[in-house]
Structure 1
Amino acid sequence: MDKKLIRVGTTYLPVQDVPKSADWYVENLGAKLNYMDSDKAILDFANQSFFLVNAMKNQRGNFYDASGKEHFSCTFEVDGLENLKILHNEFLTMGIEVGEIEDRGHTGRNFVFYDLNGNKFDVWSELSSEFKRRHNQ
């Protein structure tokens, strides 16, 4: 196959209040606001574009796996365990809902956090080898 998917360009997240949600992402995650109207906000952070889309009540990007456990649909990466611990503490200090740092039986450690709409995300302490290669890390 000559044509390959290169990267994920945009992630869409359901939110209840576009301006309030955009402010949360800018203030708490360091996102850059590129555009906003009553239906959506377009943000840049973590080397990607995120659209916050005005959604129906109780819509979230999470899902339940086969065992009934709520699952995230996105994992962010940080560079090393020390940076994971620092970010975890920063999120706690800012009042962001976070889980404990976990050992899931693979390289590195993880924790989950939620945005103000209940969208669940994961953070992993290891940068992918492809990212390191492309960015000379």
Structure 2
Amino acid sequence: MSDVPHQQPLNALKCVCSNYVPVKQPLRSAEWWQNHFGLEYAVPYNPAEFQAILKLSDGQWLHLVETDGVIDNQFPNKSGYEMFRLTFEVRQIEQLYNRLQTKGVRTENLEDRGSCGINFVFYDLDGNKFDVNEVVHLHRTPEEAEKVKEHLFHVAL
């Protein structure tokens, strides 16, 4: 055996495994997330825990935590813009955007954020603000990415 202690890598944080979102009614909120995004329960609902735990497609957990307090999931950045705390990565962003709008989910306009990709903001039942992102130039061919941008933003690239 070696007397040299095992060195942990400097960047020891691997990923975010759980995100906690304040909600008024966890079951109602879980149903909303299931209906609009197809999320499934990560563990069976237990009313004694005052939360519903859903699973994203890559395995991270979304905890919908019941609160009696004020729900304030946003914060202003230095220029005063109300920031979201989470950005969800998606594929086929235009299809998700259209589906959410068709179902009456409060959304903001699609944005081309250049190298960051295409994004839009949506709000859940409790007014929590979330961001959605697809880096189209990484996940689609250059031709597909150009077609999507032309279609969404009506500009010739």
Structure with greater helix share of residues: 2
Task: Please state how far the C-alpha of 1:60 moved relative to its aligned partner.
Answer: 3.1
> Is structure 2 residue 14 aligned with structure 1 residue 6?
yes
**Structure 1 residue 54: Cα displacement:** 0.7
- 1:56 & 1:67 partners in 2: Cα distance? 30
Tell me the TM-score normalized by structure 1. Answer: 0.82
Corresponding residue for 1:119? 128
Relative to the length of structure 2, the TM-score reads: 0.72
User: 1:95 and 1:84, CA in 2 relative to 1: closer, same or farther beyond 3 A?
Assistant: same
Correspondence for 1:45: 56
Pair member with larger Rg? 2
Are 1:74 and 1:121, in contact at CA under 8 Å, matched by a contact in 2? yes
Q: How many residues align?
A: 125
Aligned-partner Cα distance in 2 for 1:94–1:10: 27
What amino acid is the match of 2:131?
D
Tell me, in whole angstroms, the C-alpha distance in 2 between the residues paired with 1:94 and 1:121. Answer: 17
Query: Taking every aligned residue pair, what percent have the same amino acid on both sides?
Result: 37
The answer to whether residue 81 in structure 2 is matched with residue 69 in structure 1 is yes
Greater RCO, CA 8 A, separation 6+? 1
Whether contact under 8 Å (1:35, 1:43) holds in the other structure is no
Higher strand content, 1 or 2: 1
Which stretches in structure 2 are left out of the alignment for 5+ residues?
A: 1-6, 139-157
SS where residue 22 of structure 2 aligns?
A: strand
